[in-house]
Structure 1
C-alpha cells in the first residue's frame, strides 16, 4: 500500500531512483509470527498494521494478504534494520521508485515506506513504515487524532503486537492517500471485522470518522449496528 508522507516537503532534489517491481507478484511476505520471532526482545516499539492486524485481532485469516506491514518510530528503524539486515536489504519506496536506504538522501525524509527485500529470491517480504512518535499514536495527516500507545497496541496470545482494529479501519476508511474512497477490499475488511468490534472501539471509529468524513458511507452501517 503506497502512502503519502505528511512531513514538510524538502525542496532538495531526490537522488535518482531505481525501479524494483513491487506489485503483488513480487511479494512473498513473512507471516506475523515469523517476524515477531525475529524481533523478539528488541528495544523498539512496533506493531502489525493493515489487513494482517485485523486477522490477528479476530484470530481468523479471512483472506490472502499481499504484504506484511508494520509501523515503527522513525528513531527506532535503525534497530529494526540492524536486526533484520542479515536477511534483508531495505529500500525506501516512493512514487519515483526505490532507493537503497544508505543512498536514499532526501527520499528517506520524504517517504516513510521502507520495503525489506530478500535478495536471494528478489521478493519483498516486509513493509516497514517509519512514523512520528511523540509518545502517542497519531493518525497520519490528522495530528488532532491521537490515542495513547497503551490503548493502541494489543498482543496475540503468542505475543505478536498489532494495532487496534478500529485504528486500522480508520486508515482504510480514509483511502490510501487520505483522499480516495475506500478500496473494495478495505470495505470488505470493515464488514468482516465489524461484528467483532467491542462497543468502545466501534464508538471510537464512528466518532472519528464522523469528524473527518461526515458523509462517509461506513457511518450509516455503524449507526445501524449501534442502534440496532
Structure 2
C-alpha cells in the first residue's frame, strides 16, 4: 500500500484502548500527546492519531489480541509504505510502526509502536544507551489507563520537536520530579546534545 492509498484517520480514545486491552497479558501504554494529557489530567489539543507502545517481545500476544483487526506495518518505517501484518509473522527491527483499523473499510484508528527490552529493562529503539526498568516506563491515570511516563514520551519527542511537542513539554514540565528531569536531560543529551529543553530541565528549582 502506497502513501496515496493510506486513507484517513479517526483516532480511538484512550478509554477505548483500555477496554480493548483489559485482558492483555502484557504491559502496554498510551503514548504520544494523549500520554501527556493523561499525565497532566486535562486536554491540551486535538489529536490526529492515537499511539500505543508495546514491547516487541509481546508482539505475538498483541497480534492474537487484535486478531479481528486490519493491521499493517510500515516497511520501512516513516516512508509511507504499508504491508499487511499477517498472523504468525514476527516483526524484526527496524520494523516497529503498526497501523491499525477495525476493518478494511474503516479509517485508521490506532498506531502501535514496538519498543525493545532486555530482561527487566525497557530499551529505546533509537539507541540501546537509553533504558529504564520496565516498571518505571509507565504510569497509571486516575481512571486506570496505563500511559507512557512523561519523561520517556518527551525523550521521543525531543529528536525533532514541533509546535505541539513544545506545548506538551511546557504543560508537563512543572510536574516532573527532579529524578525525571535529570534522566530526561541526560537521555536527550545522547541524541541532541544542544537541545534547548536540557537547559530548562536542569534549571528548574
TM-score by length of 1: 0.78
Q: Determine helix, strand or coil for the equivalent of 1:90.
A: strand
Rounded to whole Å, the distance in 1 between the matches of 2:116 and 2:202 is 32
Aligned in 2, Cα 1:195/1:109: closer, same or farther, shift over 3 Å? closer
Distance 1:89 1:108, change over 3 A: farther
Per the alignment, residue 198 of structure 2 pairs with 219
CA separation in 1, counterparts of 2:91 and 2:148?
26
Contact 1:71/1:128 (<8 A) preserved: yes
Deviations 1:10-29 (A, max 9, x none): xxxxxxx445325xxx1111
Which residue in the other structure is 1:99 paired with? 83
Residues 178-227 of structure 1 show CA distances to partners (whole Å, capped at 9, x for unaligned) of xxxx122112211121112222212221232234433111123223323x
What SS does structure 2 have at the residue aligned with 1:70?
Answer: strand
Distance in 1, matches of 2:41 and 2:34, equals 10
Tell me by how many angstroms 1:56 deviates: 0.9
| Change beyond 3 A, Cα 1:81–1:52 | same
Is contact 1:99-1:107 (8 Å) kept?
no
Q: Kindly tell me: are residues 102 and 41 of structure 1, through their superposed partners in 2, closer, same or farther at Cα, counting changes over 3 Å?
A: closer
Give distance in 1, aligned partners of 2:154 and 2:129: 17
The 2-side partners of 1:32 and 1:149 are apart by 21
Cα RMSD (Å): 2.4
- 1:28–1:124: 8 Å Cα contact kept in structure 2? yes
Find the residue that maps to 2:128 and give its secondary structure.
strand
Partner of 1:119: 103
TM-score by length of 2: 0.86
**SS of residue matched to 1:143:** coil
Matches within 5 A, 1:26-65: 26-65=8-47
Counterpart selection for 1:152 from 137, 140, 156: 137
Residues 147/107 of structure 1: CA separation in 2 closer, same or farther (3 Å cut): closer
- C-alpha distance in 2, partners of 1:96/1:220? 35
Structure number, greater radius of gyration: 1
Distance, in Å, in 1 between the alignment partners of 2:80 and 2:90 is: 13
* Equivalent residues, number: 200
Segments of structure 1 that go 5 or more residues without pairing to the other structure are 1-16, 176-181
